[in-house]
Structure 1
Amino acid sequence: MSAHEPSPSPSPRAPSGRLVGLLLVGIAVVLLVSSPTWFAGDRVVVGVAQLLVAVVLAAAGAFLLRRAARG
């Protein structure tokens, strides 16, 4: 072993961050699309909570996707 071996690059994390970001965005889309069901069934509190969770997941997914794109 030489003392000048290159250190492992952090690039293997980028694909997993991208995949997790896509997963979170996908879950957020499903939650957004299915939320009108709760409002139609007079379960407004559940619908609002589902919308809030969808927005949080979409923001986290967008953050991860942006971070993975930067490298």
Structure 2
Amino acid sequence: MTSPAGDRRERLVALLVAGVAVVLLVSSVTWFAGDRTVVGVAQVFLGAVLAAVAAFLYRRARHR
């Protein structure tokens, strides 16, 4: 069993990862506009993976 401070830290890490995912997803539009489609697709893929990781971490921290 983890302490309340540990649970809070895990939630904060999950929110940080979610924030990075949002920035990647929102800023990927600039790559598509600049005809750098491959970079845009890679950034969208990485953003989606990080969003999934953030959701997993946040759910895990809440259920402890």
For the residue of structure 2 that corresponds to 1:25, the secondary structure is helix
Query: How many aligned positions are there?
Result: 63
- Given the two structures, how large is their TM-score scaled by the length of structure 2? 0.91
For the residue of structure 1 that corresponds to 2:2, the secondary structure is coil
Partner residue of 1:21?
14
Task: Tell me which amino acid in the other structure corresponds to 2:2.
Answer: P
Q: Structure 2 unaligned runs (5+)?
A: none
Higher CA-based Rg = 1
Give CA deviations for 1:14-68 in whole Å, capped at 9, x if unaligned.
1111011000001101111111100000000000000011011100000010011
How much is the aligned-residue C-alpha RMSD, in angstroms?
1.0
Q: If each structure's helix is expressed as a fraction of its own residues, which one has the higher value? A: 2
- Identity over the aligned pairs, expressed in percent? 60
Query: Pick from 46, 54, 60: which aligns with 2:47?
Result: 54
Partner residue of 1:32?
25
